[in-house]
Chain A
Amino acid sequence: MNQPIRTIEDLKGVEAAGLTTLYPDRLKIVVGSASCGLAVGAGAIESAAVAVVKELGLDAEVTRTGCIGFCSQEPLLDLFVPNGPRISYGNMTPEKTRSLLTAYAAKGDLRPDMALGWFTSEEHVLTGEAHTYPPPNKALTEVPEWSSLAFYRNQKKVILRNCGSIDPLSISEAVARGAYRGALRAFAEMTPEKVIEEMTKSGLRGRGGAAFPTGQKWQFARSASGDTKYVVCNADEGEPGSYMDRTVLEGDPHAIIEGMLIGAFAVGAREGFIYVRSEYPLAIDTLQTAINEAEKAGLLGDDILGSGWSFRVRIRVGAGAYICGEETALLESIEGHAGEPRSRPPYPVTDGLWGKPTVVNNVKTWASVAPILTRGADWYAAMGTQRTKGTTVFSLEGAVKNAGLVEVPFGFSLREMIYEIGGGIVGDRPLKALQAGGAARGCIPPSMLDLAIDTEDRPGETVMIGTGGIIVLDDGACTADMARHLVGFFLEESCGKCVPCREGLRQLSGIMDRICAGEGHEADLLLLERLAGTMKAAAVCGLGGMAPSAVLATLQHFRAEFEKHIHDKSCPAGVCRGLTM
C-alpha cells in the first residue's frame, strides 16, 4: 500500500485487494496459528502443508490466521477450495495434513471423514454484508454446516468478528471485512460529541469487569481540562482462566487500533498506549506489525484520513504482575514505576497518565467500538439485557467437551453455555462447580446455572461473570483445594503495601493449607470468616478487598465439603493429599 487512505474510495481500493487474498481463485490452506494453536502443534502442520504443496506442485498458498475459538479442536486447518466452500478440519496432525492434501491433489477428495464443518457463508459483521461460498459437492453434505455446530449455533460474533478468518498481519484483509469504516465515518461525518453520544446510546459498558458505561467515561475525559490527553488499552489480561484478550490481539489487532483511533478522536487524545502482558509474545509482535501497517496506510500518524488529526499508538509490555491489570497500577507501570495502585479518586479520566486525563478501556471494549459506529448504536443496543447491551466473550474451559472462546449477548444462561455450546461435561460426569468470573469470585454451585449472565449480581436473576473465564469443575475437583489454590494465587500477587492484605492472605493461606492437610480445627471456618471480613474492610486496594471472597464465596456454597475436611479428615473428591488414603 503506497497511498495513504483518505476517502471511502481509497478504502474501497484496499478492500478490493483484501478480498482477492481473503477469497482467492486458487486453493488456500489456512492454519490456525494463534498461541493456542501453536502450543498444540500448528507449526508442524504448517510445515507439513508447505512441504506437500511443494512436493505435489499444487497451485495453492499456505497462510495463517488467528484463533476461531474452537480451542479443543486445535490444531485447525481450513481449506478454501476454488469454486467451493471453506472447510474446517480439527485435531490435525502432520500425517493427516499430508493425507488430506494428497487426496485433494489426486482426485479432488475433500476427505469428509476428517472434516469438522463447512461454511455456507461468512458474515462481515462490520458491513452487515456476507460472503457466500459456492455450494459444496455431494460428498460434503454429510458433514455439518459450520453455523449449525452446537458450539457455534447460538454465538453472536462482534468482538471476535474477524478472529480466525483473516490473516492478522494483513491490513487489507481486515479492511475487506469492514475495518476502519467506523473511523472514516467518525472523522468525515461526525463531531467528537456526536461520537460520544453514539457510544452512550449504544449502552456499551466496560468489558474489563467493572462495567462502567463507556460513553460516560469518554465524556468525563473530553470535558476534563487540559490539552494533553491519552487513551490506553488495558491488555494486561492477568486473570487466570481468561484469554480472550490475547485472541483478539493475535487475531484481529486492527479492531483495537480502530477503536482507540475513534476513542482518541472523541476525547481529544493525540497519543495512545497499549499495555500488553509479557506472557503474550505473539500478541506483542502481531500488534506491532499492525501498528506499522496502519501508519503506512495513514491511519495512524499525522493528518489521519485527511482530517489534520494526529494520533500515535505505542506498545508497553508488562513484566509479570497481576496487579497491573488494575487501571491505576497499569498507569504507574506505563510511567515506568513499580505497579502499585493509586488511591481513587481522582480517577484516571481527570488524573491519569502523567496527571493528564486518560481513558483506560479493556481490549474487548475497544474492539466493540468500531461495530457500534459502522452498524449504529441501535443495532448494538438490540443485543443484550436491559442493563447491559451487546455481546461479550467467555473462555469456556476445564472439564467441558467443547472448550474455547464463546461470544454471546448478555442475558445468556450459564446452563445453555455449558450444556449446549460447551456440549456438556467430559465423560458425562456430574457438574460440581464453576470457577467463573475471576479468581476472587470463588466457586459457583450448579444451582446457579439458570441465572442469566449480566454485569451485576441480582439474586435469583442474574450472575456477574466479570472477566469472562469459566472453568468447569466436575466431581473430580475439590472446592476446598480450589479455594486454597486461589488464595495461594493472591498471596503471590499481593504487593505487600498494606498489612491487611499482606498478612491476612498469609494467614488465610495457612488456614486453607491446614484444612486441606486434614489438620483443620473446629474454629477455623469462623476464623476464616472473621479474617476475610477484616481484610475486606481494611485493605488499601481492590486486590486485598476482593481476595478473601475467593474463600468466602466458595465456603458459602460448599460448606459441607470444607466441614468434611475438618471433621472427618477426608476429601470426598480425593484431591487433597494426606486425606485420600
Chain B
Amino acid sequence: MNPDTNQQKAATSHKDDKGPWGAVLVCGGGIAGIQASLDLSAAGFRVYLVEESPTIGGSMARLDKTFPTGDCATCIISPKLVECMRDLNIEVLTMADVAGLDGEAGRFHARVQKRPRSVDSAKCTGCGDCWSACPVRNHPELPPEFLPQDELNGDDASRLDGLLSGLEGEPGAMMPVLREINETYRHLPRAILEQIATRWDVRLTEVLRVASFYDQFRLQPVGRHIVEACDGTSCHSRGARAILERLQEVIGVQPGETDPTGRYTLRTVRCLGLCASSPSMRVDGQSFGRVNLDRVPEILEQFK
C-alpha cells in the first residue's frame, strides 16, 4: 500500500489568489449537506462535500419513512444522491475529515485528510463483497450495554456447563435454563445470560427479552427471603391491602424493594391459588393462609 494514500492531502486552498474565492466546503454528506451542495452548485459555486463515512446519504438513507408526513425516505433522497454524484461542480470527498481550517471569511484554507479506502476506487463497482470478507472491519459495533462484560468464574462456568449439557436436545430449553439459574442464584446474573447467548449462538437481546418478560425472573439480586403478599381478587376482598401495608410497615420497604440489611425482599403476586384461605402470603415458597395483622410479624420472624 502506498503510504501516500494514508496521508493524502486534498488541496483545497489556493494561496496565490488575492480576492474572494468561489468555492465552498460542506461538512457532512447527509440530506442537509447534499441539499446544500446542490443549491450552492446551482448558484454557481464550486463545492467540496466532505463526509467521514464511506458513502454520502447519512441517516435518512437508512430510514423507511420521514416524520411528520410519513413520506418514503428513499424516494426523497435517492434522486438527490444521483444528482450530487453527477454534478460537475461538486467534488465528493468520502472517508475524509476536515483536519484544519484557517484564513478568514471569503478566503478560508481548509486541510482535509482522507482515510485509506483500501480498494481501488476506479475499479470498485460497489458490490460490497470486500466488506463482508474484511477481517478487520467486519465486527458489528454493539453499544456497550450489549457487549459481554464479565468473564465467568470457574464454578459458574462448570455449573452452567452441567446445566446446559443436561438439557441438550430438550426442545425449547430457554425457560428451564433460565428458571434453574433464577433458582440457583436467586436472580439472573448478567454474565451468565451473556454466556448462554454465546453458547447457543443467539443474540443477547433474545435472551434478555425472555428474561425480562416474566415476572418471576429477577434481573437484580434480592434479599435472603422473598416475601410475597397475595393480591388476588379473593384476597383483595378479604383484606389483602391491610396485610400488605402491615408487611411494608414491619419490613420498612415498598413492594419490589429489599430492606437495607438484605434480609427481605417484598413483592406482590396475583393469586397464589389459596383463595379459600384468604388472605394469604408466602415466604420463600412456604405458604400461609388466613393471615391476620398480628400474625404478620410472627411469620416474618421465622425467617432469619
Contacts and interface: CB of A to CB of B under 8 A. Distances in A.
A258 B123 CA distance: 72
Interface stretch (A32-40, A49-57, A413-421): A32-40
A239 B271 contact: yes
B271 A238 contact: yes
A246 interface: yes
B269 interface: yes
Contacts of A321: 213-215
Interface stretch (B48-56, B100-108, B135-143, B283-291): B283-291
A485 B233 contact: yes
Contact of B214 (A319, A395, A471): A319
B254 interface: no
Contacts of A477: 237
A319 B269 CA distance: 12
A403 B236 CA distance: 16
B176 interface: yes
Interface in A74-133: 74
A243 interface: yes
B233 A240 contact: yes
Contacts of A495: 213
A193 interface: no
B175 to A, nearest CB: 5
Interface in A1-45: 35-36, 38-40
Contact of A241 (B170, B216, B234, B280): B234
Contacts of A319: 175, 178-179, 182, 214-217
Given A242-B275, A320-B269, A322-B270, A338 B215 contact: no
Contacts of B273: 35, 237, 242-243, 246, 279-280
Interface in B199-256: 209-210, 213-217, 231-234, 236-238
Contact of A398 (B178, B179, B217, B238): B238
A336 B172 contact: yes
B216 A397 contact: no
A493 B274 contact: no
B213 A492 contact: no
A566 interface: no
Contact of A39 (B210, B231, B238, B287): B287
Contact of A40 (B217, B236, B238, B277): B277
Contacts of A395: 275-276
Nearest to B235: A240
A479 to B, nearest CB: 11
A71 interface: yes
Nearest to B272: A279
B173 interface: yes
A36 B238 CA distance: 16
Given A36-B274, A477-B237, A317 B214 contact: no
Interface centre among B213, B237, B280, B288 (most CB of A within 10 A): B237
A35 B231 CA distance: 17
Contact of B274 (A39, A320, A439): A39
Interface in A274-311: 278-281
Contacts of B68: none
B289 A36 contact: yes
Contacts of A403: 276
| Of A317, A405, A493, most B-chain CB atoms within 10 Å | A317
B288 to A, nearest CB: 6
Given A318-B214, A397-B278, A469-B275, A39 B233 contact: no
B189 to A, nearest CB: 16
Interface in B158-209: 170-176, 178-179, 182, 209
List the 3 closest pairs (A to B, CB-CB), nearest first: A336-B174, A320-B215, A71-B276
Interface of A: 35-36, 38-40, 71-72, 74, 237-243, 246, 278-281, 314, 316-322, 333-340, 354, 395-399, 403-405, 435, 439, 469, 471, 473, 477, 482, 485-486, 489, 492-493, 495
Given A439-B233, A469-B233, 15 more contacts: A72-B276, A240-B270, A241-B275, A243-B271, A243-B274, A316-B175, A319-B214, A320-B215, A336-B172, A336-B173, A397-B278, A398-B234, A469-B234, A469-B275, A495-B213
24 contacts: A36-B277, A39-B280, A40-B290, A240-B233, A240-B234, A241-B233, A241-B271, A314-B170, A316-B176, A319-B178, A320-B214, A320-B216, A334-B175, A336-B174, A336-B210, A337-B209, A338-B209, A339-B214, A354-B171, A399-B237, A403-B276, A435-B237, A471-B237, A495-B213
